[in-house]
Structure 1
């Protein structure tokens, strides 16, 4: 942001004001000295602090607060036993953080700087086990009483070059986050963050949100490396990736891919062909998620569509219960299989997609993805791995997925494929059940359909 003479005068005038003393805390109240132009603790601070509290004791692990302002969140983490560092672009915020933490009995290092194009000196002791950032999101009018041009620069930069995206890129490039670490960001609603994270091999999930009286909504999102402690195996050819994982003793989140399956199968043991350029991948899922097999394959199909769209492959459709279609026909399918081992249930999710952008003569007519860019096998695998973990990974530190929201999104996708034909009549889809079944309605009756084979579709 360019500082002109008026900005300089305004900054000096604000700095000549007296510092304010406020009281804030989650469970324990503390006095904070807030200099002019430094962001004070507010409702958004409390929302993010509550998510930090849910993580439990820090036990000496390393944490970093970005944009620390008064140091309120750094204090919360210090009280929980995290070894905290902080940073802020505002030198007065750096002083405020250091003073308020020292006044509360904690010594931390707060550096000047933050995410941007000027290096990562603000994260000198990376990797961290926890990174938190209450991102600048308020309008200039909201900040008129206490923020000057220096702080407003962060707001402007956030709109123009997307500092959140830069941070996620820097975390991935410079290994700022430990493999089992978490990033918590509070921000305005931004659906693209889900895709930005996946592009950088990170999973993400909504933790909590708050809607203000004026309709503005903020939320806390958690980011992490997907299934960080589970093996990933890539092979050129295998009978079936699903069967291979069903026969292993690997942990939840274990993943296998193959470019060719010699015994690939779909529902009811139907043969699933693997033409050149196809993708086959399977994952061992945790049964504690308590999602029905029907919804599991539907949610996985949503992930496939979202992932392909990140490669600029558009005009994709989800055909209930487990198929992915382009305008030319079926390009992918989902298969969930399970088996009981003693008192335990093993669940494997399999995905097959034809990623090829061209066909040889003997494969002519086999539907495949079409887009402006080639969908490279390993890039697709990195992204779909992150998309799936965003829904299906189980860790005690992670919030539960919002299955109600996911079901509503899936319902819209399924309806967009068209109305089904059943008993030679066209029906309207009215609901997607927790079992992944469809509720249908026509002029005379309503019913629940459990098997896709009983339906034809007005659109194919």
Structure 2
């Protein structure tokens, strides 16, 4: 089982290898890694890392003594995570699986999630074939996978199990907490960070303004995105 540690410790840096097209660890991964490092993970704690990417969080959890299963829809991510776990000397079961198809009947002490959360218009034409965009496209409000993560976590967690999830404030933090509550989990924001807009958000700035997600008076060069880590627990 897990509990919040009294004092936070910075996670040790992990040297990662990455196949082209696999989502690289960025500020959101780092923020979630810090949140994970504040948890007390007993030996044998069973952890599921959803959308593992390079396996950064899975490897970190395994290094803390957890028994880790990691999933991703991308075969390249699966291969990348397997190799990074092997290079780190940790046993991590990495499988190709979509969040919509969780393991039948399996439950875990902890679920980690960095789901795609960037709001954007429906893809058209060649954009539909860009597999790398699956790592960040979260639908019109950025919530397609965030909401699914909340629902799935309620079924995946054992009693007193913990969900750690990171997403953008553009998705609506309050809505996430409400959704978790409706699913029977108690949640709270445990970490926040503000970072400059990256290339994806800048490329969608006109659309974001049209949707009212970004104020028309805000200058592009001044825009900052808020990232939040939400810790939710099953009773």
The 3 A distance-change label for structure 1 pair 59 and 153 is same
The Cα shift of 1:49 comes to 0.6
Q: Distance in 2 between matches of 1:68 and 1:125?
A: 20
Partner of 2:116: 136
Task: Identify the structure with bigger relative contact order (alpha carbons < 8 Å, sequence gap 6+).
Answer: 2
Name 2:153's counterpart in structure 1: 171
When normalised by structure 2's length, the TM-score is: 0.73
The answer on 1:216 being equivalent to 2:197 is: no
Q: Map residues 72-221 of structure 1 onto 2, 5 A cutoff.
A: 72-116=56-100, 119-120=101-102, 123-124=103-104, 126-138=106-118, 149-159=130-140, 162-172=144-154, 175-189=155-169, 190=172, 191-213=174-196, 214-221=223-230
Is 2:109–2:161's contact at 8 Å kept on the other side of the alignment?
Answer: yes
How far is 1:198 from its partner? 1.6
Whole-Å Cα distance in 2 between the matches of residues 34 and 125 of structure 1? 31
Cα distance between partner residues in 2 of 1:78 and 1:90: 21
Secondary structure, counterpart of 1:34 in structure 2: coil
Structure 1: gaps (5+ residues):
1-25, 141-147, 229-460
Partner of residue 39, structure 1? 23
1:154 is displaced (CA, Å) by 4.7
Closer, same or farther in 2 for the Cα pair 1:171/1:79, shift >3 Å?
same
Q: How does 1:409-420 map to 2 (within 5 A)?
A: none
Contact 2:51 2:114 in 1 (8 A): yes
Return the offset for 1:200. 1.2
Q: Secondary structure at the match of 1:137?
A: coil
Return the index of the structure with the highest Cα Rg: 1
Deviation at residue 125 of structure 1 after TM alignment: 6.6
CA RMSD of aligned residues (A): 2.1
Q: CA offsets, 1:395-416, max 9 Å, x none?
A: xxxxxxxxxxxxxxxxxxxxxx
Q: Any stretches of 5+ residues in structure 2 without a counterpart?
A: 1-9, 121-128, 197-222
- Cα 1:159/1:224, change in 2 over 3 Å: farther
Cα distance in 1 between the residues matched to 2:16 and 2:135:
22
User: Alignment length, in residue pairs?
Assistant: 188
Q: Is the Cα contact below 8 Å between 1:158 and 1:164 reproduced in 2?
A: no
CA spacing shift, 1:158–1:129, aligned 2, 3 Å: farther
CA change 1:94–1:194 in 2 (3 A) is same
Q: Distance in 2 between matches of 1:96 and 1:105?
A: 14
